[in-house]
Amino acid sequence: QVQLAESGGGWVQPGGSLRLSCSAPERFNSGTLGWFRQAPGKERQFVAAIRFSGSSKFYSDSVKGRATISRDSARNTVYLQMTTLKPEDTAVYYCAKSSLSLILSSITSTAPYEAWGQGTQVTVSS
């Protein structure tokens, strides 16, 4: 199973930016990598995803226009750049990998993702 490791979380003031990283020991050649987040007392929710075949990208409405998902194949890393952060973005952010090239109707669900990282905390407050 793919081992994923997130990094880049931390504290940031409202309006600030962060870049989260998701790394693996092997290349991201196929399948789908997603970013999810979970705030205290809430369900894990979809943030963004990239499908490695064709590099299609998907975003939740809550981050669209403020988030960019990208890949660096040489570093086996997928990034989530987030700007104009809001207090409601505060959560633990997880990256997850599916071996499948997911279609839109399933890409936002946690079920198809087989491997998960440990998460990285993002706190947005003044």
Instruction: Report the pLDDT value the prediction gives residue 55, as an integer from 0 to 100.
Output: 83
> Other C-beta atoms within 10 Å of 63: how many?
22
Mind giving me the DSSP string for 17-37? Answer: -EEEEEE-SS---SSEEEEEE
The answer to whether 80 and 69 have CB atoms below 8 angstroms apart is yes
Distance CA 67, CA 34 (A): 13
68-105 pLDDT per residue, tens? 999 998 889 999 999 999 999 999 999 999 999 999 88
Which of 104, 123, 97 lies closest to 22, judged by CA? 97
The structure tokens listed for 101 are 């090239």
pLDDT score of 2 more than 80: no
